Amino acid sequence: MSAASTPSLSGSVVRLDTTRLRTRGDCLTNAEMGPQGDRAVTGEQDFLVLHVDAAAGLCTAVPLFAKSAVGNQPLLDEFKSGSANGWKGSEVYFSRWQHWRIPVDVIQQAIADDDAPTETRRRYSGPDSSVLDDIRVWESRNRAEYRTA
């Protein structure tokens, strides 16, 4: 995938191994670090790519969850496309209080490694970027600063 196709990454849903992200040392999160420990997701996790900053080489993404929890908000079925993994028709939530900045090459590799046909891959977006922007606005409301994941 070339740099010219980078903007099309927005709205993609990718599965990433957060252990590998942490090992790289160039991924950031604004998940709270509290008295009970780090609230950043761990292990294999689905992420929704909200924004691509091509100049910085980073994507802003949020982790996705199958269950609701405090601070989570549901994704609407009307903006889901692709049929992989029972994506449409299933409950999926994003965390308003946890964003990640992940290098573009990591997202591109995750898409390249996805063996699902292109037309069935999971995406979330509306007719314009406002659907993703509405989710991304929570990044500016987060109390925690970005830190190395």
- pLDDT 10s digits, 69-98: 988 999 999 999 997 777 999 999 999 999
pTM value is: 0.91
pLDDT score for 52: 95
pLDDT at 50: 96
Tell me the residue range of the domain where 108 lies.
Answer: 3-148
Flag whether pLDDT at 5 surpasses 50.
Answer: no
Residue 4 has pLDDT above 80, yes or no: no
CA dist 54 and 90 (Å) reads 32
Across 107-140, b (16+ Cβ under 10 Å) vs e yields bbebbeebeeeeeebbbbbeeeeebbeebbebbe
Q: Which of 34, 32, 93 is nearest to 62 (CA)?
A: 93
The total number of structural domains that make up the chain: 1
> Are the C-beta atoms of residues 23 and 119 closer than 8 Å to each other?
no
